[in-house]
Structures are given as structure tokens and as C-alpha cells.
Amino acid sequence: MQVIRQGRQLYLILLAFLLIGGRYPASSQNPQLQTKNGNVFPTVGFTCSQGDANPPYYSIAVDSAGNATYQSTPQSAAKTGLPYSVEFLASSATRTKVFQLTEKLHFFRGTFKDIDSGGQVDTYTLSFSEGNVHNQVTYHSSPNPPVQNLTTLFGRISTTLEFGRRLSVFEAANSVGMDAELQKMAQMIHAGQLAELQAVTPVLQHVASDENLSQVCRQRAQAILNEVKFRQALHEVGIVAL
């Protein structure tokens, strides 16, 4: 039994390392982050640098086929030197919204008007690439509704994927923080503050089936999975977006 327990602990530590580590060094922060298809399809990118927040930096790329890549540099990367990287398939609603808003913004040619945000230090970059075309614009805060919508959408995607990162860490450490994290995630789902929930389904499934976790945590994870499935069913008939 001791050997089995040690083997499980080693597996969870390795899982957390892979989920947190990704494949790229922290120095590879790049506004032109690409999806797994590279430059094959038109791609919209978004980066956020947000000071003392965790993560202080993240980047998302979505191509016209729906392939998406997320990369962040959580505060723990300062010790490991490794970012967190995830590839997933974006929902059709998100893909459509991203490219419709990008078109309204003329594919990020030119500049955006910044507004005084009371000393806000967050910096955002939106980019578009297709073939030899590479446009990007950097801003801090914008009165432009399409810019605001894109900023909010990408922020919600990041928040969702960061839940997945933290849940993996909590599971590997068998942390008591797991229950509070799941409760917070459920609250934000109900408040409509998360997006692309299907991207963290594998993590939730692993938590829900881990018999070494408390029954309460497994049940909370399963309840969130049920909610995600319900929303996916609604999404398929055009009622709600993920």
C-alpha cells in the first residue's frame, strides 16, 4: 500500500508539473503567440500584463478554425522558470465573436484611444495575423465597445483556465484549499464570469474521480461538470454561449 501511495503522489506531482510547466521558458512571452497550426489560419492574439496580479502576464491565440492556445506566467514561475500552457478547441460562439469584433476593429490597423483609468497599470495587446499581414495595437483602457468586449472575453477565458491550473496544483498537494476553489468557481459560473469551460473539463473529471480527495470536493467537481454539460447542450441549440 505504501508503494501504491508513493506512486500516486509521484503521478500527481508529475501531472501538476506538466500542466504548469508547458513547453516554453518564461522568457518566451510573445504578443504573437500562435495556435498549434501556426500561420495556417488567420489568428487573433491577446496579451495582458497586469502588475501584481496572479498571473501577472498571460497570452491567448485563437485561429479561425477554433484552435486556441493559452499561456500564462503565474507567480510560481519566478521559482520554476516555467509558464503554464494549454491548447484547446474554442467554442464556435467564441470563435465567431472574436473574429466579428476583430473585423469591426479593422483587424487592429491603426491605434485605439486610451482613456484615463485612474493610474491603471494593466497593459493589453491585440494582434491579428494572416499570411504576411501582422497587425497589433497596445492599449491600457479603451472607450471603444468592441475593444472592451474582446478584453472582457479574453479575461474570462484566462480566469477559467487559471482555475484549472490551481485545481491541478491543489490536487497534487492534496490541499485543503481545493473545496474553497471549487466553490468560488461554481459561483463565478453562475454569475456568468467564466468562458470556455470545456477547456478545463479534463481537470474537473480528474478531481471528481480522485478517491483520495474528500467526498465533498469530488461532489463539487461533479456538480460543475454537470453544469458544463448542461450549458453545452444549451449552446448547441443556440441558447447560451460557454
Helix runs in 38-190, H state only: 77-80, 92-104, 145-173, 177-190
**From CA 189, how far away is CA 109, in angstroms rounded?**
34
Single pTM value for the model: 0.83
Torsion of CA 93, 95, 97, 101, to 10 degrees: 180
Question: In the chain, where are the structural domains located?
Answer: 2-236
**From CA 123, how far away is CA 211, in angstroms rounded?**
42
Long-range contacts at 218-224 (CB < 8 A, ≥ 24 apart): 220/179, 220/182, 220/183, 220/186, 221/182, 223/186, 224/182, 224/185, 224/186, 224/189
User: What DSSP designation does 52 have?
Assistant: T
Look up cell 496544483; give the residue: 169
pLDDT tens, the chain, 242 aa long: 444 444 445 444 444 444 444 333 333 444 478 788 777 899 999 999 988 788 999 999 999 999 999 999 887 655 665 789 999 999 999 999 999 999 999 999 987 777 656 666 789 999 999 999 999 999 988 899 999 999 999 999 999 999 999 999 988 887 778 999 999 999 999 999 999 999 999 999 999 999 989 999 999 999 999 999 888 777 666 665 55
